[in-house]
Chains A and B, each alone.
Chain A
Amino acid sequence: MDNIIEIQNIGFEYDDGERKKTVLENLSLNIERGSFTVILGHNGSGKSTLAKLMNGLNKPNSGKVLVDGMDTADTETEIEIKRRVGMVFQNPDNQLVASIVEEDVAFGPENLGLSPEESRARVDEALKAVGMYEFRQKSPHHLSGGQKQRIAIAGVIAMKPECIVLDEPTAMLDPKGRAEILKTILKLNREHHITIVLITHFMEEAEQADRVLVLHKGAILADAAPKTVFNQVDMLKQVGLDVPQTTELLFQLRSGGADISTDVLSVEDTAETIARCFFLEEN
């Protein structure tokens, strides 16, 4: 298998001088090139720490992290690794640096030492990819939360990354903003073949992923397709997580005696399943 990221038996601990706190222990994980992976876990489960290990923002205390075969501990390849794996964080306001949208997106390519023409081309392409090209001359503070977050994503895309790691990019957004980001992520994955690692607390955002990882106390508790993971309702609730409202509904119907399948997630499929179970006999 072709992996963009290989995490090999890593350990990670924080040390504030007084005490040491182990966050991740003996963790191994591969991210396949071109895949869309969602990471779930309660607050403090080690998700953000893991995310930052994926492009060398964090370095493991033991074990190895390889990006396209390059060790993140190796300072020689540091810039190349950060170019290949871009990060997007929770708060869009903390990630924008310039007063004009296109200048903000150009910040990365210009630092790569590209020619003005090449920079220009990359900025335009990145803004088009996130659907924000028409806003290129605007000031970021006039944009909505979802639009600002798309600008932050464009800034990463302009670096032509292989992979984007997004750490709760929708936590501060309204429903429309959340939908915009999810659509953008899917487009980047499906059409631009960028590998996506998405960390989120919104269970329904995991619906269209290829793979869902559940992190608990620094270890991987589940690693499977979304339908398989969300069918483990009790396990998820035990570790402080939940299932999408669609799954919750189907499970409650089944425990109320309905002979209904519970392995669908999307609104459309759930409606279809309910129709088959409850309404077909009426027609």
Chain B
Amino acid sequence: MAKIIEVENLTYAYGDGSAFVHDAISDLSFSIEKGEILGIIGHTGSGKSTLVQQLNGLLKPTSGRVLFDGKDIWENPKEIRKVRFQIGLVFQYPEYQLFEETVFADIAFGPKNMGLSGDELTERVKEICSVIGIPESYFETSPFDLSGGEKRRVAIAGVMAMRPQVLILDEPIAGLDPKGRRDVVNMVAEYRKAYDATVLIISHNMEDMAMLADKLLVLNDGKLLMYDETRNVFSKPEVLREAGLNVPIVTRVFEELKAKGYDVPTDIFTVDEAVTYLSNRKAGGSRA
């Protein structure tokens, strides 16, 4: 698979040049394959948001480089705006940034900034809404009349309408109820499928990460603690707990069984996996 983003010795220092300088991100190197869903996890203040804001050029690294399709995104600083269209970033609580009078105008704002207008712009908005399931009947509604979960989806759609090759979402499900969480997770999956996009998601929800992410990048105090397939990361519960994180609840049930002396695997990370394992074991057991 092709690498879409490469990060080389990335360091970001807040308060650079002052007496209070400290590295929010220190000497990170990793690369991201095209088309994968990467989960970024880490305790509060571990540098997750600082990292992703450098990936799309909102923050300029103190040292190190970010390559997009093999090219340093800061090679030509005048072109950095183009990078931001190709690597779209959805901030935390993006619904606070809704401002237009209608849902349509809000979603159209991004593509309009890219230079789209007229029918092309209308088509672009319609297309993204049909992909992710926002009905056209919402177009003339004020975004402020929507529920919290719907507002969040409209705000995310506004970034998706720019059709970024890489979509980064900073805690897209924080503060949502369970249905709102599912809706956002589904719309991200639909977007990725339709446009063969690469997706980076920051989240504190280990259960959702277990279902969604191909790989996990774990940050601890601004440093890279682990970067591996999701299964391999969740197979190291002590390392995760040490870093202020945890394994999914269902995995904890199997840890508990193991602690009680039962011979069970501890690499069970979703409810489906648990049900499959236990059902097979029962079937096998009764035959024996």
Interface string of B251-288 (1 = CB under 8 A from A): 01110110010100000000100110011011001000
Interface string of A223-261 (1 = CB under 8 A from B): 000000000000000001110111011001100101000
Given contacts A174-B44, A275-B257, contact A256 B175 (CB under 8 A): no
Residue of B nearest to A142 (CB): B45
Tell me whether A175 and B245 are in contact (CB under 8 A).
yes
Across the interface, B275 reaches (CB within 8 A) one of A41, A176, A244, A256, namely A256
CA–CA, A144 and B178, complex, Å: 25
Tell me whether B177 and A271 are in contact (CB under 8 A).
no
Given contacts A175-B246, A267-B253, contact A43 B176 (CB under 8 A): yes
Instruction: Name the interface size band of chain A.
Output: 35 or more
Across the interface, A258 reaches (CB within 8 A) one of B45, B204, B282, namely B282
Chain A residues whose C-beta falls within 8 Å of the C-beta of B177 in the assembled complex: 41-43, 201, 240-241
Interface string of B161-193 (1 = CB under 8 A from A): 000000000010011111110000000000000
Which of A267, A268, A270 counts the most chain B CB atoms within 10 A?
Answer: A267
Tell me whether B180 and A240 are in contact (CB under 8 A).
yes
Chain B residues whose C-beta falls within 8 Å of the C-beta of A201 in the assembled complex: 175-178
Tell me whether B175 and A246 are in contact (CB under 8 A).
no
CA–CA, A174 and B42, complex, Å: 8
- A282 interface hit (Cβ, 8 Å): yes
Interface string of B60-93 (1 = CB under 8 A from A): 0000000000000000000000000000000000
CA–CA, A248 and B248, complex, Å: 13
- A68 interface hit (Cβ, 8 Å): no
Chain B residues whose C-beta falls within 8 Å of the C-beta of A268 in the assembled complex: 256
CA–CA, A231 and B154, complex, Å: 33
Tell me whether A241 and B285 are in contact (CB under 8 A).
no
Residue of B nearest to A255 (CB): B275
The 8 closest A-B pairs by CB, nearest first: A240-B179, A43-B148, A145-B44, A242-B178, A271-B256, A176-B244, A245-B249, A175-B246
